[in-house]
Amino acid sequence: MRPTRVQELAFLRSVTYAALFDYPLTLAQLHASLVEVRAEAPVVASWWRDSEFLQATVGHRDDLYFPAGRAELLTTRTRREALSRDLLEREHRVLSLVARMPFVRMVALSGSLAHLNAERSADLDLFVITGPGRVWSVTLSVLVISRLLGWRKRMCLNYVISERAIAIEPADLFSANQIIHLRPIVGHDVFERFVHANPFVKALYPNFEAGKELPHFPNPQASGLKPLFERALSVGTGRVLENMARAIYTWHLKRRAATWQSLDQVRLEAECLKLHTSSHRAATLEAFEAAVKQAIALGDRRSQHATASVPALRG
């Protein structure tokens, strides 16, 4: 059965958004990232088979979906996935360090490595959730230790929140897409609570389920001594250390504020440290809308031409 226009556009929008990052989608990925439309995966696959519009705008080969005319993305995906797995294997000790830190409740990969879509120069982007009142001391401790070990240049710890501040803003497509592509390596239960605390994610991506099995990623084990360290650090001086860490790191960050290109994406709050100082949010959403409009115009022209040609062929 031919899909509705709403279903066609949801399919197209999902493929187009991923293609902004040169990334073709499997059916499972397309299903999970289908924008604002709920459907089962086999039904989504049938839409492409039954729609002239989708076949005019979306290519399908080797079980991957990509914008029409961009089959080179299949090779790009294969190359980047192999490279990403090599990079993650190399960074296992860094991930173990962060996972073992006291008061860390969740560590998730973000950015290109979370998609297994990284080039060799990619940073290790991490999204971290801490216990209440521990954002700044955890962040500063991780950064100091990683610098001492020579890992600082490879790791990007630019979004750390506490369990008291797990509601994310702005609640838009860009944020929702980042959330569904986080790949938790520790704290899967916290990740599920995080998604539940941001209902706009399910509104935009109704097929996404945080509890579904994710692709294999490194799974560092937390230290058995972690609870002991947390109890020791919770006696008396915990709040003092947190306040000191916040004062020191805030002072350090503000010395660089003149170089920040997206001040609206920086938050230096007690329970939230967000350092998206060169955010691609506005540019990505603008490019997405332009690409969707261009694809719709192309698909409508081609499908109308195909429909108009049918009587002539039969005649």
pLDDT digits (tens, 9 = 90+) for 91-134: 888 888 898 899 999 999 999 999 999 998 888 899 999 999 99
Give the angle 280-36-73 at the CA atoms, nearest 5°. 55
Give the Cα separation of 31 and 207 in Å (integer): 7
pLDDT confidence of 313, banded at 50, 70, 90?
Answer: very low
Q: Which tokens in the block code for residue 65?
A: 């979906």
Express each pLDDT in 210-247 by its tens digit. Answer: 876 555 566 666 656 677 777 767 776 778 889 999 99
Token pair of 110, please?
A: 């973000």
Distance from C-alpha of 40 to C-alpha of 298, rounded to nearest angstrom: 27
Q: Quick one: pLDDT at residue 244?
A: 93
Q: Average pLDDT for residues 181-187, to the nearest whole number?
A: 92
Q: How confident is the model at residue 315 (pLDDT cuts 50, 70, 90)?
A: very low
Task: Give mean pLDDT, residues 169-183.
Answer: 95
Q: Helix (H, G, I), strand (E, B), or coil: what is residue 315?
A: coil
Residue whose token pair is 């710890």: 157
Q: How far is CA 272 from CA 77, 139, 181, 202, in A?
A: 34, 11, 20, 23
Q: Which of helix, strand or coil describes residue 158?
A: strand
| pLDDT given at position 165 | 94
C-alpha 235/C-alpha 263 separation (Å) is 36
Q: Phi/psi at 59 (nearest 5 deg)?
A: -90, 155
Give the pLDDT of residue 312. 46
The token pair at 149 is: 């070990």
Q: What is the DSSP string of 127-141?
A: EEEESTT-HHHHHHH
Paired with 183 in beta bridges are 109
List the one residue out of 198, 229, 209 whose CA is nearest residue 131. Answer: 229
Element (H, E) at 124: strand 124-130
d(CA 116, CA 106): 20
Question: Is residue 17 within 8 Å of 10, Cβ to Cβ?
Answer: no
In tens, the pLDDT along 142-165 reads 999 988 888 777 788 889 999 999
What is the residue-wise DSSP string for 92-106?
A: HHHHHHHHHSTTEEE
Q: What integer is the mean pLDDT of 176-188?
A: 94
**Of 269, 220, 211, which is closest to residue 242 (Cα–Cα)?**
269
Q: Is the pTM of this model over 0.85?
A: yes
What whole-number percentage of the chain has pLDDT above 90?
A: 69
pLDDT for residue 298: 87
Mean pLDDT of 293-307: 82
Q: What is the pLDDT of residue 9?
A: 97
Tens of pLDDT, residues 18-42 = 999 999 999 999 999 999 999 999 9
Do 265 and 274 contact (CB within 8 A), yes or no?
yes
Q: With a cut of 60, say whether residue 304 has pLDDT above it.
A: yes
Backbone angles phi, psi at 64, to 5 degrees: -125, 145
- pLDDT of 310 > 60? The answer is no
pLDDT for position 73: 97
